Amino acid sequence: MIPHDLPKAINAVRVCGYRRHWSFCVIEQNLVHAGAETELLHHGLVLGGARSGKSAFAEKLVLASGRRPVYFATSQVFDGEMEARVDIHRQRRGDEWTLVEEPLELVDLLANQSTQESCILVDCLTLWITNLMMAERAVDDEADRLVALIESLPSNARIVFVSNEVGQGIVPMNKMARDFRDHAGRLHQKLAAAVPNVWFVTAGLPQKLK
Protein backbone atom coordinates (compact mmCIF):
# COMPACT_ATOMS: atom_id res chain seq x y z
CA MET A 1 0.00 0.00 0.00
CA ILE A 2 1.36 3.44 -0.92
CA PRO A 3 1.63 5.69 2.15
CA HIS A 4 -0.40 8.91 1.98
CA ASP A 5 2.65 11.08 2.62
CA LEU A 6 4.84 9.55 -0.10
CA PRO A 7 4.15 12.40 -2.61
CA LYS A 8 5.39 14.87 0.01
CA ALA A 9 8.56 12.83 0.43
CA ILE A 10 9.16 12.78 -3.32
CA ASN A 11 8.57 16.54 -3.48
CA ALA A 12 11.06 17.02 -0.65
CA VAL A 13 13.73 15.51 -2.85
CA ARG A 14 12.96 18.00 -5.62
CA VAL A 15 12.80 21.02 -3.33
CA CYS A 16 15.76 20.33 -1.07
CA GLY A 17 18.26 19.41 -3.74
CA TYR A 18 20.49 16.39 -3.99
CA ARG A 19 23.91 16.57 -2.46
CA ARG A 20 23.52 17.83 1.08
CA HIS A 21 19.85 17.70 2.05
CA TRP A 22 18.00 15.04 0.08
CA SER A 23 18.68 12.17 2.49
CA PHE A 24 17.33 13.93 5.55
CA CYS A 25 14.29 15.26 3.71
CA VAL A 26 13.27 11.84 2.46
CA ILE A 27 14.19 10.01 5.67
CA GLU A 28 12.20 12.38 7.88
CA GLN A 29 9.10 11.88 5.74
CA ASN A 30 9.46 8.10 5.85
CA LEU A 31 10.29 7.33 9.49
CA VAL A 32 6.68 6.44 10.20
CA HIS A 33 6.27 4.62 6.88
CA ALA A 34 9.27 2.47 7.78
CA GLY A 35 7.83 1.50 11.14
CA ALA A 36 10.71 3.31 12.85
CA GLU A 37 9.89 4.15 16.47
CA THR A 38 10.57 7.69 17.61
CA GLU A 39 12.54 6.11 20.44
CA LEU A 40 15.08 3.42 19.62
CA LEU A 41 14.27 0.80 22.25
CA HIS A 42 17.31 -1.37 21.65
CA HIS A 43 20.09 -2.10 19.15
CA GLY A 44 19.49 -1.85 15.41
CA LEU A 45 21.01 -2.88 12.08
CA VAL A 46 20.55 -0.72 8.97
CA LEU A 47 21.40 -2.35 5.64
CA GLY A 48 21.38 -0.93 2.13
CA GLY A 49 23.35 -0.46 -1.05
CA ALA A 50 25.75 2.35 -1.90
CA ARG A 51 24.12 5.81 -1.80
CA SER A 52 20.87 4.27 -0.58
CA GLY A 53 20.37 6.72 2.30
CA LYS A 54 21.16 4.13 4.97
CA SER A 55 23.63 6.29 6.91
CA ALA A 56 21.29 9.29 6.98
CA PHE A 57 18.46 7.07 8.22
CA ALA A 58 20.68 5.54 10.91
CA GLU A 59 21.73 9.02 12.04
CA LYS A 60 18.07 9.99 12.41
CA LEU A 61 17.44 6.91 14.55
CA VAL A 62 20.34 7.80 16.85
CA LEU A 63 19.25 11.42 17.21
CA ALA A 64 15.66 10.35 17.89
CA SER A 65 16.87 8.29 20.84
CA GLY A 66 17.42 11.48 22.82
CA ARG A 67 20.81 10.24 24.00
CA ARG A 68 24.28 11.64 23.41
CA PRO A 69 25.10 10.71 19.79
CA VAL A 70 28.45 8.99 19.27
CA TYR A 71 29.78 8.14 15.82
CA PHE A 72 32.19 5.21 15.49
CA ALA A 73 33.90 5.56 12.10
CA THR A 74 35.65 2.47 10.72
CA SER A 75 36.92 4.12 7.53
CA GLN A 76 40.54 4.78 6.70
CA VAL A 77 41.36 7.72 4.44
CA PHE A 78 43.86 6.79 1.75
CA ASP A 79 43.03 9.23 -1.07
CA GLY A 80 41.25 12.45 -1.95
CA GLU A 81 38.00 10.78 -2.97
CA MET A 82 37.63 9.04 0.39
CA GLU A 83 38.51 12.25 2.20
CA ALA A 84 35.74 14.06 0.31
CA ARG A 85 33.22 11.36 1.25
CA VAL A 86 34.19 11.63 4.91
CA ASP A 87 33.82 15.42 4.79
CA ILE A 88 30.28 15.12 3.42
CA HIS A 89 29.32 12.86 6.31
CA ARG A 90 30.89 15.22 8.85
CA GLN A 91 29.07 18.26 7.47
CA ARG A 92 25.76 16.42 7.54
CA ARG A 93 26.16 15.27 11.15
CA GLY A 94 27.17 18.61 12.60
CA ASP A 95 28.96 19.36 15.88
CA GLU A 96 26.62 17.59 18.30
CA TRP A 97 28.18 14.21 17.52
CA THR A 98 31.20 12.76 19.31
CA LEU A 99 33.49 11.18 16.70
CA VAL A 100 35.60 8.10 17.45
CA GLU A 101 37.74 6.61 14.67
CA GLU A 102 38.79 2.95 14.89
CA PRO A 103 39.39 0.77 11.82
CA LEU A 104 40.10 -2.56 13.56
CA GLU A 105 39.41 -2.85 17.31
CA LEU A 106 35.68 -2.23 17.07
CA VAL A 107 34.65 -4.92 19.55
CA ASP A 108 36.95 -3.69 22.32
CA LEU A 109 35.90 -0.10 21.67
CA LEU A 110 32.20 -0.93 21.97
CA ALA A 111 32.83 -2.93 25.13
CA ASN A 112 34.57 0.03 26.75
CA GLN A 113 32.38 2.91 25.56
CA SER A 114 28.79 1.65 25.52
CA THR A 115 26.88 3.57 28.22
CA GLN A 116 23.26 4.23 29.12
CA GLU A 117 23.75 7.93 28.34
CA SER A 118 24.90 7.44 24.73
CA CYS A 119 23.59 5.98 21.51
CA ILE A 120 26.40 4.74 19.27
CA LEU A 121 26.32 4.66 15.49
CA VAL A 122 28.82 2.26 13.87
CA ASP A 123 29.39 3.21 10.23
CA CYS A 124 30.14 0.90 8.69
CA LEU A 125 30.60 -2.85 9.19
CA THR A 126 31.66 -3.54 5.62
CA LEU A 127 34.61 -1.16 5.92
CA TRP A 128 35.48 -2.86 9.19
CA ILE A 129 35.49 -6.22 7.38
CA THR A 130 37.72 -4.75 4.67
CA ASN A 131 40.18 -3.48 7.27
CA LEU A 132 40.26 -6.86 9.02
CA MET A 133 40.92 -8.65 5.73
CA MET A 134 43.72 -6.26 4.80
CA ALA A 135 45.27 -6.81 8.24
CA GLU A 136 44.97 -10.59 7.73
CA ARG A 137 42.77 -10.95 10.81
CA ALA A 138 40.30 -13.81 11.30
CA VAL A 139 37.16 -12.01 10.13
CA ASP A 140 34.62 -14.62 11.17
CA ASP A 141 36.16 -14.85 14.65
CA GLU A 142 35.95 -11.07 15.04
CA ALA A 143 32.35 -11.17 13.81
CA ASP A 144 31.51 -13.80 16.41
CA ARG A 145 33.12 -11.64 19.10
CA LEU A 146 30.97 -8.69 18.01
CA VAL A 147 27.74 -10.68 18.14
CA ALA A 148 28.68 -12.16 21.52
CA LEU A 149 29.32 -8.66 22.85
CA ILE A 150 25.97 -7.37 21.62
CA GLU A 151 24.20 -10.24 23.32
CA SER A 152 26.04 -9.58 26.60
CA LEU A 153 25.64 -5.80 26.86
CA PRO A 154 23.22 -4.35 29.43
CA SER A 155 19.67 -3.85 28.19
CA ASN A 156 20.02 -0.07 28.41
CA ALA A 157 22.88 0.05 25.86
CA ARG A 158 22.00 1.43 22.42
CA ILE A 159 24.00 0.72 19.25
CA VAL A 160 22.98 1.19 15.61
CA PHE A 161 25.06 -0.60 12.98
CA VAL A 162 25.25 0.43 9.32
CA SER A 163 26.41 -2.00 6.65
CA ASN A 164 26.36 -2.39 2.87
CA GLU A 165 24.35 -5.21 1.37
CA VAL A 166 26.81 -6.62 -1.18
CA GLY A 167 25.30 -10.02 -1.90
CA GLN A 168 22.59 -9.11 -4.39
CA GLY A 169 24.75 -8.50 -7.45
CA ILE A 170 26.75 -10.74 -9.73
CA VAL A 171 29.25 -13.25 -8.36
CA PRO A 172 32.63 -11.48 -7.95
CA MET A 173 35.38 -12.61 -10.32
CA ASN A 174 38.21 -12.94 -7.78
CA LYS A 175 38.54 -14.90 -4.56
CA MET A 176 39.20 -11.91 -2.30
CA ALA A 177 36.02 -10.20 -3.45
CA ARG A 178 34.03 -13.41 -2.99
CA ASP A 179 35.49 -13.86 0.50
CA PHE A 180 34.51 -10.28 1.33
CA ARG A 181 30.95 -10.85 0.12
CA ASP A 182 30.70 -14.07 2.14
CA HIS A 183 32.11 -12.51 5.32
CA ALA A 184 29.62 -9.64 5.05
CA GLY A 185 26.68 -11.94 4.43
CA ARG A 186 27.50 -14.17 7.38
CA LEU A 187 27.95 -11.21 9.72
CA HIS A 188 24.66 -9.67 8.59
CA GLN A 189 22.79 -12.89 9.31
CA LYS A 190 24.32 -13.29 12.76
CA LEU A 191 23.81 -9.67 13.74
CA ALA A 192 20.26 -9.55 12.37
CA ALA A 193 19.44 -12.54 14.57
CA ALA A 194 20.99 -10.85 17.62
CA VAL A 195 19.36 -7.39 17.44
CA PRO A 196 15.62 -6.66 17.65
CA ASN A 197 15.51 -3.97 14.94
CA VAL A 198 16.59 -4.41 11.31
CA TRP A 199 15.92 -2.06 8.39
CA PHE A 200 16.74 -2.17 4.68
CA VAL A 201 17.05 1.18 2.88
CA THR A 202 16.48 1.56 -0.87
CA ALA A 203 16.50 4.94 -2.66
CA GLY A 204 16.08 6.75 0.65
CA LEU A 205 13.10 4.62 1.66
CA PRO A 206 13.65 2.53 4.83
CA GLN A 207 11.76 -0.73 5.17
CA LYS A 208 11.45 -2.39 8.58
CA LEU A 209 12.43 -6.05 8.28
CA LYS A 210 12.34 -6.90 11.97
**Catalytic residue annotation:** 89
Provide the Cα torsion 81, 165, 137, 192; round to 10°: 140
Q: What is the distance in angstroms between the CA of the first residue and the CA of the last residue of the chain?
A: 19
Residue type, 207: Q
Number of Cβ within a 10 Å radius of residue 28: 14
Instruction: Yes or no: say if 70 and 58 are a contact pair by the CB < 8 Å rule.
Output: no
Residues 6+ apart with CB under 8 A from 189: none
CA distance readout (Å), 20 to 16, 24, 26, 57, 94: 8, 9, 12, 14, 12
